[in-house]
Chains A and B, each alone.
Chain A
């Protein structure tokens, strides 16, 4: 899922400083799952902000409302009426959710309260690891299920560079395992080293323009 983390309180406060009535919209999707912007985090952030507002001038106020998913317009049904009472929106959804909120409520300023970090996995509660950069041309088939685009600091496609050191760690840090070292070891174990002995041709990067995905069964419906 998409992983995000909350911005520093000062940055959030600064972004909404010109507005009196603010609605913080949480997201019940990925932000909620990764503990950055679900209902609980909306309440926590608002409590913090309202305390600061009170201490400073008392003229600003923030309320919260969390919808099921901010990346789909059908979950926005309650919001138009609620928003009549607010000057601006703070969104705790990922970048996609923030943009859809901004598109739907184009007459209201929308500010992000989180930084969208990655597509990743849950390593433990509150600990997430980036796994995919959505390059659009998945190579995991020949890399033993380890993504070189994401995990290799140089996004190499033809094996580990000369910097691998200290028992298979990346040159950028002795605490980061070398992706290609891991690919090599796993392929060796599976007796599939042939997969990386071939020269991999250059990537045809698919993520250089905004992409719209239409699944096969829907192509006719959308006239594609």
Chain B
């Protein structure tokens, strides 16, 4: 075991993993974090704690992770390259591990322009692939990036993101290969709506032997409404929402669009369970945490395995 995290154990044992996501609050409201976490307890193997997502200031990811742990839920500490230089990254990694955090997800981060401080200085000292390599070095060699020895290296399960849909498409599998080579133990993908492209990407990853070296969790975000689908299609970077998704939601009555969105997500999950190279699903129910039990039930991923 590299980290002994619950997610690692679930994946190593060959179970189909199911992970969730919690966005920390725009304030110091502890109860808000805990309340979201409670909806996910027992429903997922691990929960991603987002890091100033969409470049809006929120309670720090590691701090919210600790509150999630108090609810007996395993966090996945997200870390973006936008807000920290290599010193702050390594310091937060040590602190997070010391507090019992065992999973980390390395991300570039949405550009600060999108957030509530658009003129902040973006750090981007190192990029997300370099961050994966940095954590691997800390864990496996017990050394800081600068070369000095670490007293008690952080044994983290290292994650990275992948977007099978960004341009140029043929590059995407090579970017995945770089992340795997850098040391990504698991991959969580961007929200998937274009299943055709996803199948093609996974096929390429299988052919290159990448799915034997890393665990790929397919990203699923249920559409809450037609409006959300249209917004995702037009305004969210790197998102590929085919017209058939829009049309299917259009075909549902307004009151039934949410149910249709959940149904579509569950159909996707069913396909991922059978898809060679996919080791699990990462469910990003954005501001819809209370729906996770219903979705998990409907997707037939319960009960979650209990690992020792």
Contact = CB atoms under 8 A, between A and B. Distances in A.
Interface of A: 153-168, 171-172, 178, 181, 184-185, 193, 197, 199-203, 205
Contact of B145 (A155, A193, A197, A202): A202
Contact of A154 (B81, B161, B177): B81
B110 A163 contact: yes
Given A162-B238, A172-B113, A197-B174, A181 B130 contact: no
Contacts of A154: 81-82, 108-109, 111, 122, 124, 127
B133 interface: yes
A184 B237 contact: no
B5 interface: no
B199 to A, nearest CB: 19
Q: Label chain A's interface by main secondary structure.
A: loop
B133 A163 contact: no
Contacts of A201: 130, 133
B171 interface: yes
21 contacts: A153-B111, A154-B108, A154-B122, A155-B122, A156-B128, A158-B127, A158-B129, A158-B175, A159-B171, A161-B108, A162-B166, A163-B110, A165-B166, A171-B237, A172-B114, A199-B133, A199-B181, A199-B182, A201-B133, A202-B125, A202-B130
Contact of B238 (A156, A164, A167, A203): A164
Contacts, number: 105
B86 interface: yes
A154 B108 CA distance: 8
Given A162-B162, A199-B133, A199-B178, A155 B124 contact: yes
B207 interface: no
A159 B126 CA distance: 13
Nearest to B132: A199
Contacts of A200: 130
Q: In the complex, which range does the number of interface residues on chain B fall in?
A: 35 or more
Interface of B: 81-82, 86, 108-111, 113-114, 122, 124-130, 133-134, 145, 161-163, 166-168, 171, 174-175, 177-178, 181-182, 190, 237-239
Contact of B124 (A156, A158, A181, A193): A156
Contacts of A171: 110-111, 237-238
B290 to A, nearest CB: 28
B222 to A, nearest CB: 20
Nearest to A205: B125
A169 to B, nearest CB: 8
A149 B17 CA distance: 37
A184 B171 CA distance: 8
B124, B133, B181 interface centre (most CB from chain A within 10 Å): B124
A199 B129 contact: yes
Contacts of B175: 158-160
B161 A172 contact: no
A154 B121 CA distance: 11
A165 B167 contact: yes
Given A154-B122, A158-B178, A159-B178, A168 B168 contact: yes
B161 A162 contact: yes
Contacts of B239: 165
A202 B86 contact: yes
B108 A162 contact: yes
A-B pairs with lowest CB-CB distance, top 7: A162-B163, A171-B237, A163-B237, A164-B166, A158-B129, A155-B124, A162-B238
Nearest to A193: B174
Contacts of B237: 162-165, 171
Contacts of B129: 157-159, 199
A53 B168 CA distance: 57
A26 to B, nearest CB: 30
Contacts of B125: 202-203, 205
